Amino acid sequence: MPVLFQPLAAFLTAQPPATTAVTLTLAELAQLLGRPLPASASTRTWWGTRPSSAQARAWLAAGWRAQPQTRQLPVQIVFVRAPHRTLPDA
């Protein structure tokens, strides 16, 4: 996984098992990553679960899915714990 999204994967992995959802704004995500997100991060497409995208690999590998809430301001992303690991260990 690219270093850029490692802090997000670590943050999600560190959530207690009882935590089933975490909501973050784009600003909070940028702070967590230590850099601004691209403008495209405000679209639903950017938050898809395509394992070919670096950002999706971060939350999928940590066992989470992203559910963007782009119709509200500020844009929020709800990360929901997946019932099972989405990507195989490689």
Query: Tens of pLDDT along 21-50?
Result: 999 999 999 999 999 999 888 888 899 888
Residue 86 has pLDDT above 80, yes or no: no
The helix (H) or strand (E) run that includes residue 69 is strand 64-69
Distance between start and end Cα atoms, the chain = 11
For residue 71, the SS3 value is coil
Identify the residue with better confidence: 65 or 75.
65
Q: For the chain, what is the total number of helices (H) and then of strands (E)?
A: 3, 3
Residue 87 has pLDDT above 80, yes or no: no
Omega cis (within 30) before 74:
yes
State mean pLDDT over 43-71: 88
Identify the residue with better confidence: 90 or 79.
79
Distance CA 77, CA 59 (A): 12
Residues of the chain above pLDDT 70, percent: 89
